[in-house]
């Protein structure tokens, strides 16, 4: 592997190096050294440079109550002021902030001035309903100018937003509303994806009807399609009616740096999804800093991150990072395959996108599409505006990397393979495009100031070339602050006592013996990564067994998949005799839909297999490793002598 890595180095071109914010490895190393010499002073310098503070902070890091770290604690700021007003004050009010392209292709440009006005109207509307600093607001909306403005509006008045991805079911939405205790939900009548109109407000109604959401006083509905909707009097309001009467200026609420900017739910290995709590000051600093250094963002760039605002990537690299820097970005409502699989390439061409950031799953599916249909091959489009490419969410396999590099980047654009997590707020391990020589499939080196390392189960460093557990040794400004309402779970999940106070990422990793580069080897817990979406196997198991009429027992594992990275494979024991043939297919389809309703379509198992039992040890523990082998279609090499009924292995190998 090491020899391979060195022979595959892609050095940054002179063009990539020239004028880059971080140009050359010596510049990278200087930053790493500066952080190492005085960690807190390094971050304090950057926090002063990147953030406009209302009241400057006097202390960078407070670690008195570790692992509940505090950054820039006595400073006050407002995130929306930093993303909008300050650029207007600097004379950039007419600069385009958002180039919004709707599913059907209509394009709307929103300047900084206009985005501020929209944000303030929504902020004032929220205030008129009594929403105030510290309240939580759930946002369940698709990609839109109003989606971004709604997040900014919450930040403006000090309300903590929690965006729920529009693909989650009513049940999942209900759970999040209840956990946050939100006072308001912002949604749209419908969402438009791939030419289809899909419900949003109707799902909010269904979620609220499920109960446990008494905290919600108002539902604000953005008009997207004009669909006829029942509106509950006294609770539901049209956003355009509410905001029509509002002023387009709103004094920002200056909040302490530690004030929770947002909660975002993500899956863990046990229990329900956890509400990851992020701060205002430290989070915004890293979102801005990484946008600048990792993407080398300049004033005239057209940046496009294809993520949804329902995920952390959409928070850091759509709503906050690019706007904090006064950049211009594309916001896309639709899907990469509509009206055809050339949509991304056409949009890059039309908007002259210079920096493009997407997920390996999208790349892999577009490779397939391009290979099957010359009309949507990227060579049919003018992609010469591009200068930097990015990848996020899951490991990018070297073949997809090479294709992306050659066909989208024309062989000239560096690819930044950014490793990070919902919990980390921003990039942790990533190349810097004007500095780091690249290796396909490796996220290369830690971002300056991020003390990523690989250790064994007792927290001791492992030598390069030997895999281990990925940790971060020192706290950093944009780290998760706690799990909303469950500080104990936060400590247990991320700061297990045996790891010497290091942050546990939950991924395995290995450093190359020669280059020292990091390669992520995948999760070390029961978290799956399907199309870049995080899912807990336990969550899907609970959803399956909650179908009490049918299901007696279920076990869920992941198996590698060429397009989605990992695929969900469920092994199910029914309360009735094991079905076969058509009946098995019918029940499998029913269960898939069940999981879709319980969690969301993204959690539907690809494979469902039925058995009379599950393989268990004598103590009754499900042998998941065995199930993983079966899911992959591998020959069983494990010792199966302890199994009560080895014949079930054959049963479980049959797909439906």
Contacts of 406 (CB under 8 A, 6+ apart): none
Q: Which uninterrupted H or E stretch holds 16?
A: helix 14-17
Cβ 529 to ligand WTA, closest distance in Å?
5
Specify the residue, 81 or 420, whose C-beta has the smaller distance to ligand WTA. Answer: 420
Q: How far apart are CA 128 and CA 640, in angstroms?
A: 66
Q: Which of 238, 64, 261, 71 is nearest to 161 (CA)?
A: 261
Q: How far apart are CA 191 and CA 310, in angstroms?
A: 13
Cβ 200 to ligand WTA, closest distance in Å?
22
Cβ 527 to ligand WTA, closest distance in Å?
7
Contacts of 587 (CB under 8 A, 6+ apart): 550, 574, 579, 608, 610
Q: How far apart are CA 317 and CA 322, in angstroms?
A: 6
Do 440 and 398 meet the contact criterion of CB atoms below 8 Å apart? yes
Cβ 206 to ligand WTA, closest distance in Å?
26
In 31-181, the DSSP E strands lie at 61-62, 70-71, 76-77, 96-101, 107-111, 136-140, 160-163
Peptide bond into 10 cis (omega under 30): no
Q: Which of 111, 109, 112, 110 is nearest to 89 (CA)?
A: 112
Do 506 and 528 meet the contact criterion of CB atoms below 8 Å apart? no
**For the stretch 133-147, what's the b/e string if a residue is b when 16 or more beta carbons lie within 10 angstroms of its beta carbon?**
eebbbbbbbbbbbbb
Specify the residue, 523 or 606, whose C-beta has the smaller distance to ligand WTA. Answer: 523
Specify the residue, 237 or 432, whose C-beta has the smaller distance to ligand WTA. Answer: 432
**Which residues are near ligand WTA by CB under 6 A?**
266, 312-313, 392-395, 417-422, 443, 505-507, 520, 523, 529, 534
Q: How far apart are CA 254 and CA 619, in angstroms?
A: 57
The label of the residue with tokens 């269904």 reads 206
Tokens, residue 38:
């005085």
> Which residues, listed in sequence order, are joined to residue 509 by a DSSP beta bridge?
468, 520
Cβ 421 to ligand WTA, closest distance in Å?
4
Specify the residue, 57 or 165, whose C-beta has the smaller distance to ligand WTA. Answer: 165
Do 159 and 182 meet the contact criterion of CB atoms below 8 Å apart? no
Specify the residue, 351 or 533, whose C-beta has the smaller distance to ligand WTA. Answer: 533
Cβ 319 to ligand WTA, closest distance in Å?
14
Cβ 144 to ligand WTA, closest distance in Å?
21
Give residue 565's region: left, alpha or beta (phi > 0; psi -120 to 50).
left
> Distance between terminal CA atoms of the chain?
38
Residue nearest to ligand WTA (CB): 422
Cβ 294 to ligand WTA, closest distance in Å?
11
Do 505 and 512 meet the contact criterion of CB atoms below 8 Å apart? no
Cβ 76 to ligand WTA, closest distance in Å?
29
For CA atoms 634, 635, 639, 642, the dihedral sign is positive
Q: How far apart are CA 644 and CA 612, in angstroms?
A: 12
Strand order in the sheet with 302-305: 107-111, 96-101, 328-332, 302-305, 355-358, 388-392, 415-418
Q: How far apart are CA 371 and CA 367, in angstroms?
A: 6
Cβ 625 to ligand WTA, closest distance in Å?
19
Cβ 483 to ligand WTA, closest distance in Å?
13
Q: How far apart are CA 598 and CA 601, in angstroms?
A: 9
Specify the residue, 118 or 534, whose C-beta has the smaller distance to ligand WTA. Answer: 534
Specify the residue, 394 or 539, whose C-beta has the smaller distance to ligand WTA. Answer: 394
Specify the residue, 80 or 422, whose C-beta has the smaller distance to ligand WTA. Answer: 422
Q: How far apart are CA 207 and CA 133, in angstroms?
A: 25
Cβ 455 to ligand WTA, closest distance in Å?
16
Specify the residue, 131 or 429, whose C-beta has the smaller distance to ligand WTA. Answer: 429
Q: What length is written for the chain?
A: 656
Cβ 226 to ligand WTA, closest distance in Å?
33
Specify the residue, 93 or 522, whose C-beta has the smaller distance to ligand WTA. Answer: 522
> Which residues, listed in sequence order, are joined to residue 275 by a DSSP beta bridge?
265
Specify the residue, 313 or 482, whose C-beta has the smaller distance to ligand WTA. Answer: 313
Specify the residue, 267 or 279, whose C-beta has the smaller distance to ligand WTA. Answer: 267
Cβ 647 to ligand WTA, closest distance in Å?
36
Specify the residue, 397 or 464, whose C-beta has the smaller distance to ligand WTA. Answer: 397
């Amino acid at each position: 592997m090491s020899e391979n890595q060195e022979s595959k180095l892609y050095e940054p071109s002179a063009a990539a190096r020239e004028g880059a914010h971080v140009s050359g490895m010596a510049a990278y190393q200087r930053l790493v050294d500066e952080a190492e010499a005085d960690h807190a002073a390094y971050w304090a310098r950057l926090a002063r440079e990147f953030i406009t503070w209302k009241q400057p902070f006097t202390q960078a890091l407070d670690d008195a109550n570790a692992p509940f770290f505090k950054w820039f604690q006595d400073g006050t700021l407002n995130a929306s002021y930093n993303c909008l007003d300050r650029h207007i004050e600097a004379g950039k009010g007419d600069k385009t902030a958002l180039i919004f392209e709707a599913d059907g292709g209509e394009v709307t440009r929103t300047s900084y001035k206009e985005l501020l006005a929209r944000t303030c109207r929504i902020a004032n509307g929220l205030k008129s309903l009594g929403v105030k600093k510290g309240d939580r607001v759930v946002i369940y909306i698709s990609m839109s100018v109003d989606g971004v403005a709604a997040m900014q509006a919450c930040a403006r008045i000090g309300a903590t937003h929690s965006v729920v991805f529009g693909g989650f079911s009513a049940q999942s939405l209900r759970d999040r509303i209840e956990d946050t205790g939100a006072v308001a939900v912002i949604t749209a009548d419908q969402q438009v994806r791939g030419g289809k109109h899909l419900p949003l407000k109707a799902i909010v109604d269904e979620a609220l009807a499920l109960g446990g959401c008494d905290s919600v006083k108002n539902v604000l509905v953005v008009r997207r399609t004009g669909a006829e909707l029942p509106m509950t009097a006294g609770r539901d309001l049209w956003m355009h009616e509410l905001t029509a009467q509002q002023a387009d200026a709103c004094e920002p609420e200056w909040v302490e740096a530690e004030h929770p900017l947002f909660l975002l739910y993500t899956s863990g290995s046990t229990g329900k999804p956890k509400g990851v709590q992020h701060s205002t000051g430290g989070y915004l600093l890293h979102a801005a800093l990484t946008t600048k250094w990792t993407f080398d963002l300049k004033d005239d760039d057209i940046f496009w991150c294809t993520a949804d605002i329902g995920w952390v990537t959409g928070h850091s690299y759509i709503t906050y990072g690019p706007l904090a820097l006064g950049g211009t970005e594309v916001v896309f409502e639709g899907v990469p395959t509509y009206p055809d699989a050339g949509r991304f390439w056409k949009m890059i061409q039309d908007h002259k996108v210079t920096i493009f950031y997407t997920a390996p799953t999208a790349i892999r599916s577009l490779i397939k599409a391009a290979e099957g249909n010359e009309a949507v091959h990227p060579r049919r489009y003018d992609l010469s505006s591009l200068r930097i490419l990015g990848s996020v969410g899951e490991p990018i396999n070297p073949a997809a990397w090479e294709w992306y590099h050659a066909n989208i980047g024309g062989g000239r654009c560096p690819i930044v393979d950014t490793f990070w997590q919902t919990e980390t707020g921003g990039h942790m391990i990533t190349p810097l495009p004007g500095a780091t020589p690249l290796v396909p499939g490796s996220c290369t080196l830690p971002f300056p100031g991020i003390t990523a390392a690989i250790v064994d189960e007792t927290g001791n460093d492992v030598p390069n070339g030997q895999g281990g557990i990925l940790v971060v040794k020192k706290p950093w400004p944009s780290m998760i602050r706690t799990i909303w309402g469950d500080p104990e779970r936060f400590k247990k999940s991320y700061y297990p006592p045996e790891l010497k106070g290091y942050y546990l990422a939950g991924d395995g990793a290995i450093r190359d013996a020669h280059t020292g580069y990091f390669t992520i080897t995948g999760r070390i817990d029961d978290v799956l990564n399907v199309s870049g979406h995080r899912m807990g196997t336990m969550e899907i198991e609970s959803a399956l067994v909650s179908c009490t009429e049918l299901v007696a027992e279920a076990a869920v594992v992941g198996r590698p998949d060429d397009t989605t990275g990992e695929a969900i494979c469920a092994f199910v024991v029914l309360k009735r005799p094991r079905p076969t043939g058509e009946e098995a297919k019918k029940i499998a389809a029913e269960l898939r839909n069940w999981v879709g309703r319980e969690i969301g379509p993204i959690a539907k198992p690809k494979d469902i297999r039925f058995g009379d039992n599950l393989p268990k040890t004598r103590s009754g523990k499900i042998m998941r490793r065995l199930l993983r082998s079966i899911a992959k279609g591998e020959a069983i090499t494990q010792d199966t002598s302890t199994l009560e009924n080895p014949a079930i292995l054959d049963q479980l190998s049959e797909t439906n």
